[in-house]
Structure 1
Amino acid sequence: MENLANIASTLGDRFTTNVQSTFENMSPQKWLRVVIVAGAYMLLRPYLIKLGGKVQMDTHEKEAIEREEQERLAQKGKISPNDLRGLMGKVEVPEDTDSEEEEEEGNSGVGSGADWGKNARRRQRKMIKKLLEAEEKRLMETKEMEEDKDIEEFLIKD
């Protein structure tokens, strides 16, 4: 703890000594140089800010024009891999890209890295179709059973 206190006091002493000696050793020539640099900065700062804003606005406009051009190309379907890399996630993928013919070919089950989502959608669709068909079959059977019961009422029993 004493070591930390010694370091803090040493730093404080050196800081005050250095600042004090800096102002004591300043000649009129050095003061004039400081005033000229500070004045020039204050005079030129607004112009530098305006110039920076103008350059930034130009770059934003160029990027917007390039983005619109890439989107227009993407809508036409004429997009190159380089254009696609520039869009980075702004291209919308259609929801249902796979067709029923592909589903019947038996491609589902084997998935590569790129086809995993498509195969999962196919499996999900197949499962939903099977469930719907089973439900329809069950409803048809119950409906037939109800019709049979209605017919039994009218049959004559001896």
Structure 2
Amino acid sequence: MDDLVNIVSTVGDRFANNVKGSIVNMSYEKWIRLVIVAGAYMLLRPYIIKLGGRVQMSAHEREAAESEEAYQKAQISPNQLRGQVDIAEDSDDEDDVPTISASGADWGKKARRRQRTVIKKLLDAEEKRLQETLEEEEDKDIEEFLTG
């Protein structure tokens, strides 16, 4: 343990002495050189970042173009399958046709009908919940008056 503390203190002392010696022993020429290097870095940094952004953007566009070419080369696209797939009809729908093809207009009507029924169920459930909370509050008010 003492060796570890000795090593850490030696490293700290040497670091402090070297930094202090470097700053104290710097000539005007070295200070000017340091200021020039730091200033050049501050001036050129935004341009270097913009250049990196352009390179990254061109690489991204190149990858997107390659993936688009690969997609175009696909044998069957999802749009070609539209209207060819048979979907079984739900038993609670109004129509009595056992299967229909998934065309845009028929599917839209059914989806809107299902969506309306789901929304009605949600609204009914919310109204029921609100009614129950209202009844509970009224019961609490009546109970207050009876006990008070």
Question: TM-score scaled to structure 2, two decimals?
Answer: 0.49
Structure number with higher relative contact order (C-alpha < 8 Å, ≥ 6 residues apart): 2
Higher strand share: 2
